[in-house]
């Protein structure tokens, strides 16, 4: 199984060289169309997703509204916001649908992680295009150590890689080191995508990490799904000045691996599941001892209080 996964992985490394990414036209990229404007900074509008070489909408059927419940949250996560709601924008956008029923989990980071039904009713009209409004709060306003984000790209899945350490965002540098494809895979996976392209750009600014390497000596093993688990991926104590930053372009394709979910890397940095379980059981034992002591104390104190003076 692992061998097959890795072969598929290498095959996609080859295929992704063909993905068209200019202007953000890569599979799975989303944008909001507000009365004909598709500015990447739009926080409300009709959802448009790039799929099968065109921008298409989602046909929203009121009778199935509960299925679409988390679609606004997920699209807003992908655009860098903490969530969103079904919109009330009256402007009709003449985009025809690519998806009918779409069902998401609130923890997804990209729309194409959801179950997206490509069948839709012939009765779908432009007025049925799903429009949303994202909250004003940024998904990276409440960051965790080891969180990653991309800056300066044509869309949120593209740009210079930044990582959050010690209360500050700074770049992931690549000053002369070999760029491993797996590092691109790890970063895009942490962001909820599953196809990547990795490179560098000249840069002037602070960085936390340098020459991170997510490849493994064991070719049967998948690369880590969190940057902090890669070699050189842990937060150091200080920044340094960087002149070549790492860049990635992430997109989404129908594949075996589904991309990471929200907060999946939150606890990856320090504590393992075993360690957390250990701490919890330690707390439980401590709590039981405390209860026993408290009970004993109450009894003793009561006895002591009953003693005649």
Cβ closest to ligand NAG, residue 157 vs residue 259: 157
Is residue 22 involved in binding ligand NAG (CB under 6 A)?
yes
Q: How far is the CB of 233 from ligand NAG (least distance, A)?
A: 23
Q: Decide if 170 contacts 183 (C-beta within 8 A).
A: no
Q: Please, which residues have CB within 8 angstroms of residue 203's CB and are 6 or more apart in sequence?
A: 160, 171, 173, 242, 243, 244, 245
Residue span 74-93 as binding mask against ligand NAG, x where in contact by CB under 6 A, dash where not: ---------------x-x--
Interaction with ligand NAG in 158-187: which residues (CB under 6 A)?
Answer: 158
Could you tell me the two tokens for 295? 């009970």
Cβ closest to ligand NAG, residue 70 vs residue 81: 81
Q: How far is the CB of 101 from ligand NAG (least distance, A)?
A: 12
Cβ closest to ligand NAG, residue 122 vs residue 274: 122
Distance, CA of 297 to CA of 279 (rounded, Å): 26
User: Nearest CA to 89 among 54, 121, 42?
Assistant: 42
Is residue 65 involved in binding ligand NAG (CB under 6 A)?
no
Is residue 96 involved in binding ligand NAG (CB under 6 A)?
no
Q: How far is the CB of 29 from ligand NAG (least distance, A)?
A: 12
Is residue 21 involved in binding ligand NAG (CB under 6 A)?
yes
- Beta-strand ranges (E) seen in 75-156 are 84-86, 97-99, 102-103, 115-116, 131-134, 148-152
User: Nearest CA to 173 among 145, 200, 133?
Assistant: 200
Q: Pick from 7, 11, 35, 220: which binds ligand NAG (CB under 6 A)?
A: 35
SS (H, E, C) 207-241: EEEECCECCCCCCCCCCCCCHHHCECCCCCCCCEE
Interaction with ligand NAG in 97-156: which residues (CB under 6 A)?
Answer: 121, 123, 153-154
Contact positions toward ligand NAG, by CB under 6 A?
21-23, 34-35, 89, 91, 121, 123, 153-154, 158
């Amino acid at each position: 199984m692992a061998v097959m996964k890795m072969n598929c992985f290498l095959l996609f490394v080859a295929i992704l060289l063909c993905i068209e990414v200019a202007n953000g036209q890569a599979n799975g990229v989303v944008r909001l169309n507000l009365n004909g404007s598709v500015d990447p900074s739009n926080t409300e509008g009709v959802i448009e997703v790039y799929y099968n070489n065109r921008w298409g909408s989602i046909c929203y059927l009121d009778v199935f509204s509960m299925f679409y419940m988390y679609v606004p949250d997920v699209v807003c996560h992908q655009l860098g916001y903490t969530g969103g709601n079904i919109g009330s924008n009256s402007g009709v956008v003449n985009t025809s649908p690519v998806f009918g029923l779409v069902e998401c989990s609130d923890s997804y980071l990209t729309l194409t992680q959801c179950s997206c039904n490509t069948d839709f009713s012939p009765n779908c009209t432009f007025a049925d295009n799903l429009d949303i409004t994202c909250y004003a709060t940024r998904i990276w306003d409440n960051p965790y150590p080891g969180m990653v984000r991309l800056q300066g790209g044509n869309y949120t899945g593209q740009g210079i890689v930044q990582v959050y350490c010690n209360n500050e965002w700074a770049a992931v540098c690549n000053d002369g080191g070999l760029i491993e494809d797996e590092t691109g895979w790890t970063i895009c996976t942490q962001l909820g995508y599953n196809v990547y392209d990795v490179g560098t750009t000249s840069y002037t600014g602070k960085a936390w990490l340098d020459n991170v390497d997510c490849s493994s000596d064991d070719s049967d093993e998948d690369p880590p799904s969190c940057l902090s688990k890669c070699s050189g991926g842990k937060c150091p104590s200080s920044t340094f000045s960087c002149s070549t930053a790492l860049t990635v372009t992430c997109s989404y394709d129908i594949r075996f691996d589904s991309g990471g979910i929200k907060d999946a890397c939150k606890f990856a940095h320090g504590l393992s599941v075993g360690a957390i379980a250990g701490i919890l059981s330690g707390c439980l034992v401590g709590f039981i001892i405390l209860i026993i002591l408290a009970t004993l104390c109450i009894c003793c104190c009561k006895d002591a209080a009953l003693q005649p003076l």
